[in-house]
Each structure stands twice: as C-alpha cells, then as structure tokens.
Amino acid sequence: MSNKRYDETRPSISAELRRAVEVESGHCCAIKGCGEHTYLEVHHVDEDRENNTMDNLILLCDKHHKMAHSRVIDRKALREYKKLLSVSYNTLINERFDQLEKLLREQSKSRLDPELPEKQYISFDLEKRSPKRHEILYFSLDHIAICHYERLSGLEFEHQVEFFRGEDKLLLDALRQSDQEEDIIIDVHYFRTSYIDAPAYASWLEKKIELYELLTGRKARGILLIVVRKPHMKREGYLSLTEQGVKACTRNITLKVYSCEEVGFQPDP
C-alpha cells in the first residue's frame, strides 16, 4: 500500500489519459452491472496516486469509489473488473474493424475498372509493381477535392491520416481535430455515372466515425464529399440514394457535392 496521503499534492491525470479510461469503460462505472454514467471518478487500483498508468486507473461511480477505498471492493476484484473491460473493449474494436474492412472491400470493388488490369513484371527475384493509372487519378482527385473544400470552408485538414492498432488500420481521407468542437472526418467518392449512386456511402463513413471515436475517445462528425463527373449530376434529386443514406444515419453527416469542373480536375482518360 502507498503511504501517500490523499490530501497531498500528486501528479495530475492528463486529459488524454482520462479520456482513454472513460472510453475503455464506455463512459460509465466499470463495475459490471452498475451502469452509472454520472458523478464518475478515476480510481487508482493500487492506491498510489503517483502511478498514473493506464493499467492502474479505473472509472468508478461515487458509490463504488467509496467502496473501493473502504476495501469492500478490494484491489484483486478491481483488477478483475479492469480485465473484463479490456477484453470487452478489444472485442468491440475488433468487431468494428471487421465491419469496416468488409465495407471497404465492397468500396474497393466498386471503384475498380475492369478495362485497366494490374500489370506486374517479374524477372527472377526482381518484381516491379505500380498502381493502376485510374487509382493514381482517383487519389489525386480525392485530395484536390479536399483542398477545394478547405478553400471554401476556411478550415485546414490533415490528409491521408492512418491509425494503427496491431495489424488493423483505419485510414481517413482527411481529419480535422479541435478541442473547441467535434472533430471532422472527410470521406471522398467519385461518381463517374449515376449508377454509382447508392445509400451505402454514408454508412461507410458512419462506421469510420464510430471506430475513430472508439480508438481516440474523441467526438466526431462527418462530411461525405462526392465529386461528380458532369455538372448536371449536381441537380436536386439526381443522387437520391446517396441523400437517403445520409438521412438514415444516426451520426452527424453532411453531404457536399462538387463537379470535376468546380474542383478543376478530371480523372477520366
């Protein structure tokens, strides 16, 4: 047991660390079955208030916090609750990654052009690889479109942001983090023709937002940025399925539609 008095000055818990502890327990008391989400306090499992490591911190409601200090709930029990949290949180993260991976595979298939096969040249142990031409053009369009939105909104974004967790990866077209308001995630898609219109694009972005919030503990909203090949595709009702998808989302997602002419880039041959 630590001999530090609880009224003595001790190192403070950073906002980022507290957020991580809150996210781990789903912003409610970590005691299984409690569910309390108000008057929450971070408790040091080993009661050493200088030991501000993630493994030593657990979120408790006022009642269970007092029970922990009076040893009604002992340290061994708290560590078991902590393990349950970690397993549950990791399972949830993996489920979200699996869902997102499935959606992104569908997205990748929808963007492939069968007329442009991948080319590889192999000679003995030397292999040459290069992205398909349409992949380079689409990549360029995505970030030119984001720059166009930046100019119009007066906001700056990080481009091609990647979050790694083991072998899993979350890739965002653009991200803006702010301590004053919700973070913003931009997801870009190019519509060559009207048949690409579908309600799925908004749900893809919604899954990315959910996973981002789980990984970071930060709140976010989305901008679904659609670039259309021809100006007439911007007419009201032309992208009705995409619009329906946005309306069906429970997350705050805004639809923005630009033409290639507006952004100043045409990716087609």
Tens digits of residue pLDDT in 182-232: 999 999 999 998 888 888 899 889 989 988 988 888 899 999 999 999 999
In a shared domain, residues 116 and 219: yes
Q: Which amino acid, one-letter code, is at 253?
A: I
Q: Which of 71, 86, 101 is the last residue of a domain?
A: 86
Determine, yes or no, domain membership for 179.
yes
Determine, yes or no, domain membership for 144.
yes
In a shared domain, residues 128 and 252: yes
Tell me the per-residue pLDDT of 135-169, one tens digit each, with 9 for 90 and over.
889 999 999 999 999 999 999 999 999 988 777 78
Determine, yes or no, domain membership for 102.
no
In angstroms, the CA 59 to CA 44 distance is 9
pLDDT at 173 over 60: yes
CB 183 within 8 A of CB 228: no
**Share of residues in the chain with pLDDT > 90 (%):** 40
Determine, yes or no, domain membership for 223.
yes
In a shared domain, residues 144 and 251: yes
Place of tokens 């790694």: 164
Determine, yes or no, domain membership for 44.
yes
Q: Where are the alpha helices (DSSP H) in the chain?
A: 15-24, 62-69, 75-111, 133-153, 200-216, 240-248, 260-263
What's the domain count of the chain? 2
In a shared domain, residues 185 and 128: yes
In a shared domain, residues 146 and 200: yes
In a shared domain, residues 186 and 61: no
Answering whether pTM is above 0.95, one says no
Determine, yes or no, domain membership for 229.
yes
In angstroms, the CA 217 to CA 158 distance is 18
Domain residues for 192? 112-263
Determine, yes or no, domain membership for 25.
yes
Q: Which residue has the higher pLDDT, 153 or 31?
A: 153
Give the pLDDT score at 191: 93
Segment 232-254 mean pLDDT: 92
In a shared domain, residues 122 and 184: yes
Determine, yes or no, domain membership for 24.
yes
